[in-house]
Amino acid sequence: MRVGFVGLGVMGRPMVLNLLRAGHELFVHARRPEAVRPLVEAGATACGSPREAGVRSEVVFTMVTGSEDVEQVAVGPGGLIEAAGVAGHFHTLIDTSTIAPATARSVAARLEQAGIDMLDAPVSGGEQGAIQASLAIMAGGRPEVLERARPLLRTLGRTIVYVGPNGAGQVAKACNQMVMVAGIQACAEAMLLARANGVDPAKVRQALQGGSAASRVLDVLGERMVGRNFAAGIEARLHHKDFGILMREAFRLGVPLPLMAQVWQQLNALTGHGWGREDTSSLLRVLESQSGKERVE
């Protein structure tokens, strides 16, 4: 297929490479030319705008940072909506970003008026999941649109779940972030408690991995905490952004999320320390600063 892709960062870049390996023709756009260059060298074609990517493609993926970015790319000036009806090719947007459910619904409605289908299909699995094409994909939209897109999605992920109409995929992603980041906070508190007792956090982590506390968070983020490796796997600022989305959604619906509110405050503190572009395992350093048990890096 002729496939467009807008957003070529940590996640978008390997997703494009997997689509190229599957034999698709890729038309790519990003704000930074340096992000485009290696993908052109790999066989993709550079486009000067989202509109151009849409004109040259049948399906377009987006993987950008936030709700405003998706709105700009999809329905803003020079956006994908301007490709509607041009040459009669572009028919589906698959947005894999993490954005507000309300934004997904409003963008889908505007695109539908122009004759373009949309799936909100946020992903989980991080950079390694994108590289290994093992992402979990949570899809919102019409079932028939998902079935039409499923062969493309299979080149990117192992788990593809239809959640419901537009916006439902983003609701599922918000729930994913709640469970995952709360787990990172719990792991950080466990590591802090172990060290405060004079017990080796590495041994505690090893013990926990063999029991009911075992998790991917403990495996990956716990290892980072033990090794004091806070270089970004996923930048903490993105989790901070995601929690802003879910807490605003909770406020809108009047849904109490007391634990999430506490975790959000820890993410706020992390950002305030200037660690937003480092890994979310830096939640351990937030606790250390709060307890007066800072470690010298």
Q: How many CB atoms lie within 10 A of CB 204?
A: 19
Catalytic residue (one of 173, 203, 241, 293): 173
Residue type, 20: L
Element of type H or E holding 195: helix 168-196
Q: 81 Cβ partners below 8 Å, 6+ apart?
A: 74, 75, 110, 111, 114, 116
* Residue 221 near residue 228, CB atoms below 8 Å: no
Please report how many Cα atoms fall inside a 13 Å half-sphere around the Cα of residue 60, on the Cβ side. 35
Q: Is 252 exposed, middle or buried (0-12, 13-18, 19+ CB in 10 A)?
A: exposed
* Residue 122 near residue 98, CB atoms below 8 Å: yes
Distance of CA 12 to the CA centre of its chain: 10
Longest CA pairwise span in the chain (Å): 68
Q: Is-catalytic flag, 173?
A: yes
Q: 212 Cβ partners below 8 Å, 6+ apart?
A: none
d(CA 36, CA 176): 30
* Residue 105 near residue 166, CB atoms below 8 Å: yes
Q: Which residues are catalytic?
A: 173
